[in-house]
Structure 1
Amino acid sequence: MQFQLTDDYIAQIEQLIANKDGDALRQQLEEFHFADIAEILEELDSEEATYLIKLLESDITSEALIELDEDIREKILERLSPKEIAAELEEMDTDDAVDVMGELHEDIQKQVIKEIEDTEHVADIVELLKYEEDTAGALMAKELVRVKETWTVAGCVREMRRQAKNVTRVHSIYVVNKEGKLTGRLSLKDLLTAGEKAHISDVFIPKVDYVTVHTENEEVARIMQKYDLEAIPVVDENGVLVGRITIDDIVDFIKEEADRDYQLAAGISEDVEADDSMRKIIRARLPWLILALVGGFVSVTVLGTFSDAIADHAALFFFVPLIAAMAGNVGVQSSAIVMQGLANKTLRDPLMKRLFKEVVLSLFNGFVLSLLLIAAGTIIMGLDFKFGLTIAISLTSVIISASLIGTLVPIILDRMGIDPAMATGPFITTSNDICGILIYFTIAKLILGF
């Protein structure tokens, strides 16, 4: 039966914690999955959550810690001693341990490292901490099963049993030469059907997809998605096998990237949560709001230069929000499509071909929308032909302009090494508002003659 967290159950857990009834808590939680325990921890305050972490076995709590939101985990870690943190890290795979270590102050990191008894585990953690963030080296785990191509099948099986004790999930078996360089992968089926005296060099598959320690995470995700991989090996500059990245690592990365891009598109400049401090939230949101304010002021200034036209043709004023809204919507649509193409590496068309395609698409959309707008305006507002023509041409021109801006800006930002997700936020909307209003009144002036 699936675990269901209720307010009554949380109240029961809180009461047991208040009573320091450790035996009852262990009995309550011993059969729970670590993800369920993580869900419970997130509903408790940091002091109560820390009590549970100290109470339960590290093989359970270490997994639960990884499932927690970073801010909640950070508050719990602040209440644990270096020795207690070390006990949790010893139960984690190296990639997870590095994620946790990265959240600690440098002084605490040194103290925790001294408390970890497994010297090999410590060495692996220290090695992974040296790699740049957002690279395969920082994302990979050291735990894997590797076999040498010179081994016999019987010797290989014995060695695999030994290595598998330290690997949570065996996704693949990698084959290396005597220098440790990756040479291929081993099919379990081929291993089981081969004779015991056969050598691995006779049965392994030499073709294997891999990445280097310096490959960016986005590229790792693209390769794993393209070839439908559950895991991918990581090699160093010399081709030596040093780790592996599994699909759950990539899913976490993709989720984090999606959350970050969503916030950038909404005009939030850094990763924030609803329960973060006011100072952090203001720092993330205010700069973009200031940009939007400046853009809005420019729009008002542009609109002010056509005050005489509005006085003579008051109906023009009523269509300003519509023109601005259409410009913003089209711009966001275009930038979203380009963003998706850049992220998936599917944007292969030359720039001019992409722009021509946007113009043709905008002409069609503008024509259809203009017809609908003229029909509605004529029936409801009684617009004359000349005014309707002004609105139709303006709307089509604004749609073309917005689509070109929405296409160009992400591409330019990407080529400049700037995250193109910024283009889908207030920047695109504000730019298109200003351009839309300017185009609208310029065309109106040409046709209506004011």
Structure 2
Amino acid sequence: MTPFKLTDELVEEINQLIADQSDSKLLKLMEELHYADVTEIVHELGQDEGTYLIKLLDSNKTSDVIAELDEDVREKILENLSDKEIADELQELDTDDAADIIGELPEERQEEVIAQIEDEEHAAEIVELLRYDEDTAGGLMAKELVQVNENWNVLKCVKEMRAQAEEVTRVHSIYVVDDQNRLKGRLSLKDLLTTSTRADIKDVYIPKVDYVKVHDKAEEVAKVMSKYDLEAIPVVDELGRLVGRITIDDIVDVIKEEAEKDYQLAAGITQEVDAEDSILDLTRARLPWLFLGLMGGVGAAAIMGGFEEILENYAILFFFTPLIAAMAGNVGVQSSAIIVQGLANDDVKGSIADRLVKEMLLAMLNGAILGIVLFFFTWIWQDDHLSALAISISLFVVIIVAGIIGTFIPLFLDKRGIDPAIATGPFITTSNDIFGILIYFWIAKLILNI
């Protein structure tokens, strides 16, 4: 199968067919396309053209298209659809995707759309999911799953599974519950096929099953599924009753969103924004860290002002100030990035003290190598071994301090329940710049005896 490739010519052709209302040609053109390809096309069309295409195609395909659209594009499309048209689309979606879309609608419109959903059970399940915070397991889960009772025999189990599977897009696991719907374990398809039809399920199911609770954070769910390589995981309520399941596609979205948020924090952006957001929103997201950088620069300038005498006598120190500040920031960001990544993957083990000792030893090795190189470079360039010694020793100490700060701050923030990703951006860079310059001039003053 040749991969789909969206071209300007194709977009132009689709726009022309829409303008001419050539519905039969449009349907034929879209017939063989995957819903992901149609989603890509809708993103390139205008609001009216995208809406026209959504209304033209069958809900079996367009429901998935709407679910995959970017939120801002989906919002515009939904504005042009009637309550009944939205309800028809939601009817084709799994409950988790339908709840996500309903949750984006204005509150007054949510009730109107839900009232238009013909399948009352489907509507009730969507309403139930809306009760949960979107960043929890309950907010991620879908109600569609296959479950069997431990007291059934294999024959009844197979019959019930066939009926349930009609409502499930993909069967990842078969969950076993008791009469109170409490999760007891999971059922192996192999064991089901190789066991006598008269055997009881309680004699063949596997009691060990990984699960999460409805109020567990999405990030914790992602860690569990990643650790155990799960394609799906059951969700239970406070009483241990099976209420839904989370599939890998939902967790991929969580991981992607968390990575984007951490990347923006590392870049010094305090809230989630997109390139298409307004100038005011982008300014609010960026200005706080830029202001911090300004304060850091003012602080560094004030520190340098306090060492005016040494700068007058050893002007060479001035030329190496940017190098010291840059190395402090770089080392701090490197150290914090490794720790933040380890915390995200749950790979950071042991005490903070052990981590600090390891980072200090690493920084000492790096600092010694870089300091020796800088010493000989400066000595050869300026023919002044004392200034070269002051600058290289300063670099050595600055790298050690920056490494320790870059390690300690994300660990400290994580212990306090604050997102440690904030420590990989301007916060670390600015603080290490200030500490680096202070250490630089203080050591230089000691060695040069001024």
1:393 corresponding residue in structure 2:
393
Question: Aligned partners of 2:196 and 2:126: how far apart in 1?
Answer: 38
Question: Aligned partners of 1:206 and 1:383: how far apart in 2?
Answer: 76
Question: Aligned partners of 2:79 and 2:396: how far apart in 1?
Answer: 58
Cα deviation 1:313-352 (Å, max 9, x = unaligned):
1100111111011011110011111112221222222111
Question: Aligned partners of 2:252 and 2:172: how far apart in 1?
Answer: 16
Segment drifting more, 72-81 vs 204-213: 72-81
Q: Given the two structures, how large is their TM-score scaled by the length of structure 2?
A: 0.97
State the SS of the aligned residue for 1:232. Answer: strand
Segment drifting more, 342-351 vs 143-152: 342-351
Cα deviation 1:28-61 (Å, max 9, x = unaligned):
1011000000111111112211111111111101
How many residues matched?
449
2:179 corresponding residue in structure 1:
178
State the SS of the aligned residue for 1:157. Answer: helix
- Give the gaps of 5 or more residues in structure 2: none
- Give the gaps of 5 or more residues in structure 1: none
Cα deviation 1:119-162 (Å, max 9, x = unaligned):
11111111111112311111111100001111121111111111
Please report how far the alpha carbon of residue 307 of structure 1 lies from its aligned counterpart in structure 2 after TM superposition: 2.2
1:61 corresponding residue in structure 2:
62
State the SS of the aligned residue for 2:123. Answer: helix
User: Is the CA contact (8 Å cut-off) linking 2:328 and 2:432 kept in structure 1?
Assistant: yes
2:210 corresponding residue in structure 1:
209
Letter in 1 for 2:428: I
Please report how far the alpha carbon of residue 219 of structure 1 lies from its aligned counterpart in structure 2 after TM superposition: 1.4
Segment drifting more, 131-140 vs 341-350: 341-350
Q: Structure 1 432/193 Cα, relative in aligned 2: closer, same or farther at 3 Å?
A: same
Letter in 1 for 2:391: I
State the SS of the aligned residue for 2:104. Answer: coil
Cα deviation 1:405-449 (Å, max 9, x = unaligned):
111211222222211111111111110111110000000111112
2:339 corresponding residue in structure 1:
338
Please report how far the alpha carbon of residue 383 of structure 1 lies from its aligned counterpart in structure 2 after TM superposition: 4.0
Please report how far the alpha carbon of residue 113 of structure 1 lies from its aligned counterpart in structure 2 after TM superposition: 1.1
Question: Aligned partners of 2:223 and 2:355: how far apart in 1?
Answer: 22
Letter in 1 for 2:396: T
1:113 corresponding residue in structure 2:
114
Question: Aligned partners of 2:259 and 2:87: how far apart in 1?
Answer: 31
Question: Aligned partners of 1:426 and 1:237: how far apart in 2?
Answer: 41
State the SS of the aligned residue for 2:251. Answer: helix
State the SS of the aligned residue for 1:102. Answer: helix
1:433 corresponding residue in structure 2:
433
Cα deviation 1:361-412 (Å, max 9, x = unaligned):
1111100011111222233x23422111111210111111111111121122
State the SS of the aligned residue for 1:73. Answer: helix
2:424 corresponding residue in structure 1:
424
Question: Aligned partners of 1:432 and 1:334: how far apart in 2?
Answer: 12
1:375 corresponding residue in structure 2:
376
Question: Aligned partners of 1:105 and 1:41: how far apart in 2?
Answer: 23
Cα deviation 1:211-255 (Å, max 9, x = unaligned):
111111111111111111111101111110000011111111100
Question: Aligned partners of 1:375 and 1:124: how far apart in 2?
Answer: 72
Question: Aligned partners of 2:334 and 2:393: how far apart in 1?
Answer: 21
State the SS of the aligned residue for 2:418. Answer: coil
2:165 corresponding residue in structure 1:
164
Letter in 2 for 1:287: P
Cα deviation 1:154-175 (Å, max 9, x = unaligned):
1111111110111010000001
1:90 corresponding residue in structure 2:
91
Question: Aligned partners of 1:220 and 1:365: how far apart in 2?
Answer: 38
**1:284-363 equivalent positions in 2, closer than 5 A:** 284-363=285-364
Question: Aligned partners of 2:416 and 2:183: how far apart in 1?
Answer: 35
Letter in 1 for 2:205: F
What is the percent sequence identity of the aligned residues? 61
Letter in 2 for 1:293: L
State the SS of the aligned residue for 1:15. Answer: helix
Question: Aligned partners of 1:136 and 1:365: how far apart in 2?
Answer: 43
Question: Aligned partners of 2:166 and 2:445: how far apart in 1?
Answer: 78
Question: Aligned partners of 1:407 and 1:103: how far apart in 2?
Answer: 39
1:192 corresponding residue in structure 2:
193
Question: Aligned partners of 2:16 and 2:22: how far apart in 1?
Answer: 9
State the SS of the aligned residue for 1:319. Answer: helix
The Cα RMSD (Å) is: 1.2
Question: Aligned partners of 1:278 and 1:82: how far apart in 2?
Answer: 33
Question: Aligned partners of 1:269 and 1:81: how far apart in 2?
Answer: 36
Letter in 2 for 1:284: A
Question: Aligned partners of 1:406 and 1:102: how far apart in 2?
Answer: 39
User: Is the CA contact (8 Å cut-off) linking 2:378 and 2:384 kept in structure 1?
Assistant: no
Question: Aligned partners of 2:125 and 2:87: how far apart in 1?
Answer: 14
Letter in 2 for 1:395: L
